[in-house]
Structure formats: C-alpha cells, structure tokens
Structure 1
Amino acid sequence: MRKWKFNLKGIWVPILVLVVWEAVVRLGLVNPQVLPSPSSVVVRWYHYLLPLEAYDPATTSYWKWFFSGELIHDLLASLYRVAVGFFVGAGLALPLGLMMGASTHIYDYLNPLVQVVRPIPPIAFIPLAILWFGLGDPPAVFLISLGVFFPVLMNTIVGVRAVDSIYIRAARNMGAGPVVMFLKIMLPAAMPYILSGIRIGIGTGFICMIVAEMIAVNNGLGYRILEAREYFWSDKIIAGMLSIGLLGLAIDTGVSRLNNYLLRWHRGLE
C-alpha cells in the first residue's frame, strides 16, 4: 500500500506539467507549430500508432493489420538494432573484462589501448562506420555495440578486481584451483558490477541507436523524428520522443527486474 502511495505522489508533477503546457498553448502564449499542445501530440501519436488503411476483417487478421502500423514497425526495427548491438558489444566486453580483471599481465597490455579509445564518443565513429559498412543496419549496430562495449568492459574489470581478498585466500586454503576460483568466487562476487555495467551499457546503446537511425537508416524511431523535422511536424517529433521514452522505460524496468532476480542472494546479505 505504501508503494502505491509513493507511485501516486510521483504522478502529480507530470500531470501538473501537462496541464500548464496545455493551458499555455491554448492561451496562445506560444506558437503551436513550435510547441504543440499535449492533446495534439496524443492525437498524432494515435495516428502514428495505427495503420493508414482501415481494418477490414474480410482481408486480413486484426493483429496483422495492427502490426503493419508505422509506429509498431519503427519500434520493432529499433528494438532489433538495440538487441543485436547489445549482444555483440556485451559478448565482446564480458570475456575481455573478465580476463583483464583476473590477469594483471593482460590488464597491463590492453589497458593503455582501452583508455585511449574509451573517451571517444561512439557518435564520432559515424563517418568511419558509414565508410566501413555503408548505410543500413550494419553501421547502426556497430555504433550501438560501441556504446554498450565500454560500460560493460570497465564495470566487469572493476568488479573482478574488487573481489575481497578474504574470499580468495579462503578458497585457496580449501584447495580451489584457478578454474574453480574464477567460476565460483570471482565471477559471482563481480556479478553486481557486471549487471550494473550491462544496465548502463543498454542505456548508452539506446542513445547511439537513436543517433544512428537519424543518419544511416530509413526506418526506426530516430529516423521518424528526423523525417518529422523535415516537414515541420513538431507534434510528431514529440510523439516520437514520447515513444522513445516509453521504450527506454520498458527496457530499463525489465533490466532492473532481471538484476534484482539474479542478485536476490546478494540483496539478502545486505
């Protein structure tokens, strides 16, 4: 009950912002072409969601008709790029981070290169990504992978290197070998850091996805916002931004729930 009260408290501020926003536009204090009212944004979002063609049960099923809508098509395209980019970036960062965290020699060899490349924003790689991969999904996936790679890598390294030496000494005294030490001691102890890096990496990859879609592809939420800017459809721009926010919230909530589930043993120790 207390949780629901907290959630209800958090609703009042957005509602107040929407009411003031609607009043400002309707009173003519701002140009609706520059800042459309929330009601017009909702109407545009509704038309963005539904297909242009009217539903005809004699020719197609409802779900096939619904998923042919522009917004659904863009959402699926953006989700596909985020998913592929995440698995590529995290799939490369996790083993490399575990090796760099567990081995001082590997860390000393690779860390200078990592520290030189890491501060470069993934957006700066856009010209090279287009030169290397052309247009379409490959450059977008490349940029998303870069956005995911370094947060996961650095958090994994920190997590492995932050394992309490008491655990390591205790495992050695009990005769644990290097493989058991790594799988049973270091990896579980570093898991909170790794999952935190994954959560940050998904957020960074999501930002890179929007930027890449504005430049290298012809569908997706980022592309649709750029298209709306060309036609000065400010209500569709904000509708696209709303869709991005809702999608990001859904992804972050899912990752947070997964983290809580995987770290339930860790929560119990706190």
Structure 2
Amino acid sequence: MSHSASHQPLPPPSLVQRVSSALLRPAQPADTSARRRLLRLGLAALAWFATGAITQFWPDIPGVAGSASSSDLAALQWLLGLLLLLVVPLYQRLGKAGRWFYRNAPRLTALAVLLGIWQIASAKTGYWRQPYFPPPQGVFEVYFKEWARLLDSIKSSLILLSAGISIGGLVGFLTGLLTGWSRQVGYWSRPVLRFIGPVPATALIPIALFLFPSSFTAGVFLVALATWFSVAVLTWSGVESVRAEYYDVARTLGANTGFQLLKIAIPASLPHVFVGLFMGLGSAISVLVVAEMVGVKSGLGYFLDWSQSWGAYGHLYAGLFLMALLFSLLTTALFRIRDKVLVGQKGDIQW
C-alpha cells in the first residue's frame, strides 16, 4: 500500500451508524438527574392526585365524621400534587426547597398511600369501627374549626414546659457541676441523686398538687424535677471525665479556681449537658402530658383528656398529631442549638 493511500480520509458514517452511536452513548449526568427528578416527583404527585380522587369521588358511608370537609381535603391533596409537579421544572430556581421536595419525595409518596388506605378503611368502607377511627377529613375538620382552642392549648403547654425545663435545667446543671467539682458537695448530693432521681416524677403528682398553691406551680415543679435528674447526672459525669492533666497544666500556669471552672470544667461538660437536656426533654414531655391530664386543666394534655371523655375521637387524633409535630420541632431546635454551641462536634449525634 502506498504512502498516499494510507492517509485517505475515512468515509462519513452512515445514518444507521450515527443512530446506533447515539443510542449506545451513556446518558449525560444532567439528563439522568432530570429524569430521576421527574420520576420521583411525578410518582409522588400521582399518588396525591389518586388519594384526592378517592377522597372526592368515592362516597362516604352515612354518618362518618368530617364528610362535609371531604371536598376541601381532596382539594388540598390535589394542590399538593400540583406543587410536586411544579417542582420539576423549577427545581434549579427553588434551591433548598427544591432539594427538600426531591429528597422527601418517596416519603411523601408513602404518606399519600397511607392516607388513601386510612380513607378507604374508615370513611369509604367502614372496615375500621366508627367513631373510634375517624377518617382523615374528620381530623382535618378539627384543625379548621378548633384552631383557636388548639393554639391556646399549645400556648399553655409551651409556657409550662419552658418554665419547668428552664428551672430544672439550670438547677440540674449547677447540681452536676458542683457534684463533680467538689468532694464536699458530692458527699451530700450523690446520695440524693441516687435515691430521689430514679423516682418517676409522675408518681409525685398527688404530693405536688397537695404541697403547691396551684396546679400550674405543681406542674412546673414536676417538669423541672424530670429535667433536673438527667441534666445533673450527665453534667456530673462530664465534669469528672475531664483529665486531671488539664487542671495541672492550668494551675502550673497560674489559673485560679474560677478560670478552671469556666475554661475547663464547663466547656468539657457541655456535650454531656446537651445529652442530659435531650433525655430530660423527653421525660419532661411525658410528665407534662400526664400533669395536664390530671391536675393542670389546660394545654394539649388536657385537650386529649377532654376529647377522650366526650368521645370526640377526631379531636383526640388531631391533638396527638399536633403534639407529635410540636415536640419533634422542640427536639430539633435543641439539636440545632447544640450544633451552634459545639461546632467541633456538629453531627456527632444525629436526629
């Protein structure tokens, strides 16, 4: 073969070759991401449209709670489905909101399916006994009609909870700090923590209602007691876990007792303090609900007790869902504060 023939240009690819190359070429990452977004968000939107159709077009059984609000609930479900569809073309512009919808699309799909099952089993077929298991529109109607009362209950619960946690957290922190720092204080405080601390605060409700002048102050005391024990024990553990070499170096450099407390003991105990606050918050919430049911005639706990006594099961479920959302948000806020204070340990404890 001659030298000139070896450099002749190749013939242009045929149409079949070009189509085959295009089909076999791997998809671009951007195209794959767009298709995945369309699939996830589109499936979630379809689930909400289907659930809305069940709510609107499948007739309710006679006498079921919330039947008058079925159309409103269906419209809300369709609106959410439309919102999910709009996220697909506006994903890049929505920023964090778009990423939130994309990340939670499978959960939103599951939620729509669960609401559809709940709807069919309660309002459409009566498979779940009424009125003990009211349909979603029965709960939705409570939020629409009783919003003022629910807001007042939230306000009362937050006032009682914040007062009790603030007092219990502060006293618990000081108790744990002094117990871990001073042998003289620990000699007296450790038996008290070990003897009184494990006693459930709810067991002291009759005594608290007798000793305190009002049910509100008794409730604050019980919530504070539930918070105090966890914070005190974890702070005590945090102070005692500090290595003795840190104090030796500080004393060698001329640090006084106040400096060692403020710059070594307290910063070292903060991770334990937040764990104690997390545990104390859970205990305080339990005590709060029981105290409101028994003695404090206000708040979400009292709303649940009133609903049960009158057989208003739609109100009962509405209060439970609202309580779960509220206390979950409070726990999330506590972890956000922890991440702000303990920057170096951000994300060590997940919520």
The bucket for the TM-score relative to the shorter chain is 0.7 to 0.9
Counterpart in the other structure of 1:235:
314
The answer as to 2:208 corresponding to 1:150 is no
| One-letter amino acid of the counterpart of residue 250, structure 2 | A
The residue identity in structure 1 corresponding to 2:227 is V
Aligned to 1:211: 290
1:105 Cα deviation (Å)?
3.2
The CA distance in 1 between the partners of 2:157 and 2:282, in whole Å, is 13
Aligned 1:94-133 pairs, distance under 5 A: 94-133=173-212
Distance 1:204 1:22 in 2: 34
Determine the C-alpha separation between the residues in 2 that align with 1:28 and 1:129.
Answer: 45
Q: Find the aligned partners of 2:143 and 2:223 in 1 and give their Cα distance.
A: 26
Q: Is the 8 A contact 1:135 1:216 kept in 2?
A: no
* Structure 1 CA distance for aligned equivalents of residues 121 and 99 of structure 2: 33
Mapped to 2, the partners of 1:7 and 1:256 lie a distance apart of: 21
Q: How many residues align?
A: 250
- Indicate conservation of the 8 Å contact 2:160/2:219, yes or no: yes
For residue 183 of structure 1, report the CA deviation from its aligned partner: 0.7
Which residue number corresponds to residue 54 of structure 1?
none
Distance 1:10 1:178 in 2: 53
1:42 counterpart letter in structure 2: F
For 1:257, the equivalent position in structure 2 comes to 336
Q: Structure 1 residues 268, 203: closer, same or farther in 2, change over 3 A? A: closer
Deviation digits for residues 85-141 of structure 1 (CA, Å, limit 9, x no counterpart): 111211211111100011233223221121111111110001101111254311111
**Structure 1 residue 261 displacement after superposition:** 0.4
Cα distance per residue 1:176-198 (max 9 Å; x no partner): 22211111011111111112212
The superposition leaves residues 47-93 of structure 1 with CA deviations (integer Å, 9 ceiling, x where unpaired) of 121xxxxxxxxxxxxxxxxxxx1111111111110111111211211
Q: Which has the higher contact order (CA 8 A, sep 6+)?
A: 1
Q: Give the whole-Å Cα distance in 2 for the aligned partners of 1:112 and 1:240.
A: 40
* Structure 2 unmatched runs, 5+: 1-95
2:119 corresponds in structure 1 to 22
Distance 1:168 1:200 in 2: 29
Higher alpha-carbon Rg: 2
Q: Which amino acid aligns with 2:286?
A: I
For the aligned residue pairs, the C-alpha RMSD in angstroms reads 2.1
Worse overlay, 163-172 or 31-40:
163-172
Going from structure 1 to structure 2, the CA distance change for 1:242 and 1:156 (only over 3 Å counts) comes to same
Look up the equivalent residue of 1:46 and give its one-letter code. F
Q: 1:170 to 1:80 in 2, by over 3 A?
A: same
Which amino acid counterpart does residue 120 of structure 2 have in structure 1? A
Kept in 2: contact 1:228–1:236 (CA 8 A): yes
Q: In structure 2, how many angstroms separate the alpha carbons of the residues matched to 1:78 and 1:7?
A: 30
> Could you tell me which amino acid in structure 2 is paired with residue 44 of structure 1?
V
1:39 lines up with 2:137 in the alignment: yes
Task: Using structure 1 for the length normalisation, give the TM-score.
Answer: 0.85
Q: How far apart are the structure 2 equivalents of 1:197 and 1:12?
A: 36
Q: Structure 1 unaligned segments of length 5 or more: list them.
A: 50-68
Q: Give TM-score scaled by structure 2 length.
A: 0.66
- Relative to structure 1, the CA distance from residue 167 to residue 16 in structure 2 (aligned partners, 3 Å threshold; closer, same or farther) is farther
The offset of 1:11, in angstroms, is: 3.9
- Residue 9 of structure 1: CA displacement? 4.0
* SS across alignment from 1:214: helix
Post-superposition CA distance 1:153-174 (Å, at most 9, x none): 1111111111133433332332
CA distance 1:191–1:3, shift in 2 (3 Å): farther
Indicate the residue corresponding to 2:84 in structure 1: none
| Residues 13 and 143 of structure 1, relative CA distance in 2, 3 Å threshold | farther
